[in-house]
């Protein structure tokens, strides 16, 4: 591991950490106001909220999709890695919004958040370790995350805090739509999130590539950033558990 790779990984990780700790406070109230103001245009409202979700650097967006994106050799790979991850999220959200039940109204999302952060952080650290030590796809000696791994990670990540948000949105919107269309809540939320996350990941990828001009350095930095951000998410979860 060279100093250039380490510096790049730490820089990317710190930038995302700062965004995680600041931007949600701005974007979440916007999302809530959209739901209240859209009225019968509930489908468009959910799409817009999904876009905001993709722009909001929580534990299921930038830390994962940016890290995987940096490991890809081409723009096509960047887009595909983001599609695979957010596609897994969208699949779970779509199925669960179609099966939403009465019990979801009893859940306290704030109580679940520390455990979500811990789970996601452990998963990220595990994936980063697998990329270093595992026997899997390689490009010119540089280990990268294959799409099967990204898909599995996406399926696991889909059951975090945003999963609860999708179901609560579905419950709130059921009176405004035919019951057989409830699956569209999860689908439109995921579609909007995919669109904005793809934009973010492409912008980061192109910016870093223009600065570094060496894919191998960027790929290794992406792997390191995934591990660093995983440790941060674990720390955030532990802090939340013991913070009043």
Residue 199 to residue 83: CA distance in whole angstroms? 12
- pLDDT for res 21: 64
Of 66, 58, 62, 71, the C-alpha closest to 5 is 71
Residues 6+ apart with CB under 8 A from 34: 45, 48, 49, 52
- 144 versus 131: the higher-pLDDT residue is 131
pTM over 0.85: no
Q: What is the mean pLDDT of residues 90-118?
A: 65
How far is it, in rounded angstroms, from Cα 134 to Cα 204?
A: 26
**Mean per-residue pLDDT over the chain, rounded:** 75
């Amino acid at each position: 591991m060279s100093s250039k790779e380490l510096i790049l990984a730490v820089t990317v990780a710190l930038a995302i950490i700062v965004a995680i700790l600041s931007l949600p406070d701005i974007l979440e109230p916007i999302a809530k106001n959209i739901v209240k103001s859209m009225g019968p245009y509930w489908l468009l409202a959910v799409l817009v909220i999904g876009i905001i979700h993709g722009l909001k650097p929580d534990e299921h967006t930038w830390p994962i999709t940016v890290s995987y994106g940096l490991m890809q050799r081409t723009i096509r790979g960047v887009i595909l890695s983001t599609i695979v991850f957010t596609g897994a999220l969208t699949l779970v959200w779509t199925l669960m919004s179609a099966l939403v039940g009465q019990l979801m109204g009893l859940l306290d999302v704030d109580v679940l958040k520390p455990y979500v952060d811990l789970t996601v952080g452990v998963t990220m650290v595990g994936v980063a370790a697998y990329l270093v030590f595992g026997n899997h796809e390689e490009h010119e000696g540089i280990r990268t995350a294959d799409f099967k791994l990204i898909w599995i990670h996406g399926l696991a990540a889909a059951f975090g805090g945003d999963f609860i948000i999708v179901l609560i949105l579905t419950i709130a919107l059921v009176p405004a739509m035919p019951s057989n269309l409830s699956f569209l809540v999860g689908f439109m939320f995921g579609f909007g999130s995919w669109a904005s996350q793809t934009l973010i990941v492409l912008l980061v990828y192109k910016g870093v590539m223009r600065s570094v001009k060496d894919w191998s350095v960027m790929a290794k930095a992406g792997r390191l950033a995934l591990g660093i951000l995983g440790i941060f998410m674990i720390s955030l979860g532990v802090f939340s558990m013991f913070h009043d």
